[in-house]
Amino acid sequence: MKKTLLGISFLSLLGSFIGCSTQNNYSIQKNILPFISYSDKNTQEIYLSNIKIYQTKYSLKEGTLYYDDASSLSQYGFRSNAKELIQILFETNSYTLLESKANLYFFKLQNATQSFYLLLNKESKRHIELLYGFDAKSYKALLEAIQRDDKAIQVELKAVSRDLEPIRWSEKMIIIDNLVNRKH
């Protein structure tokens, strides 16, 4: 009887840990995008040898935000290091990892003309989401909402510029930079 109760207690405790670990899995698409106020939205599909990307441009009154949703074929997976992903995708060494929580990574990037903020969601080895082009005030508001564990992140996002360029997804990223690797 004691062994049965001990086993049940262990399973309950294990279940609560598993429940806690998955509670913080945010999806940019489900938890943030529905609350963006935009005047225009344009999505393009990009197919590379082993990646499918949906790249969406959101036109806001002060500028442009981009959302990229990328999935690899089942036998491939994205690099596990978030910093390496950003370095390859944005072809830059001028970035700073500001914060990470569960599956989310906040970065500040600097390009030739401006700095902007980026949120990376490494949902799984086969799926990543990126939201980029927002300003420092938006970053702070997003971070606070996530730290409170808000499920619906209703934050007014402000874009830094209309001139921000989207990620230029290419075969070079896959072949030379090893953005994705075959899973073993």
Domain boundaries, the chain: 25-182
Q: How far apart are CA 28 and CA 41, in angstroms?
A: 16
Q: How far apart are CA 4 and CA 167, in angstroms?
A: 55
- Tell me what pLDDT residue 21 has: 38
- Which of 82, 182, 80 lies closest to 130 in space, CA to CA? 82
* pLDDT over 90 at 57, yes or no: yes
- Tell me what pLDDT residue 60 has: 94
Higher pLDDT, 11 or 98: 98
DSSP conformational letter for 175: H
Distances (CA, A) of 136 to 5, 133, 140: 51, 10, 6
* pLDDT over 60 at 131, yes or no: yes
pTM value?
Answer: 0.84
Q: How far apart are CA 127 and CA 14, in angstroms?
A: 26
**Model pLDDT for residues 14-34, shown as the tens digit of each residue:** 333 333 333 457 889 988 898
* pLDDT over 50 at 117, yes or no: yes
For the ranges 137-141, 151-155, 178-182, the lowest mean pLDDT is seen at 151-155
Name the residue type at position 145: A
**Token pair belonging to 28:** 């940019």
Confidence of residue 6 (pLDDT cuts 50, 70, 90): very low
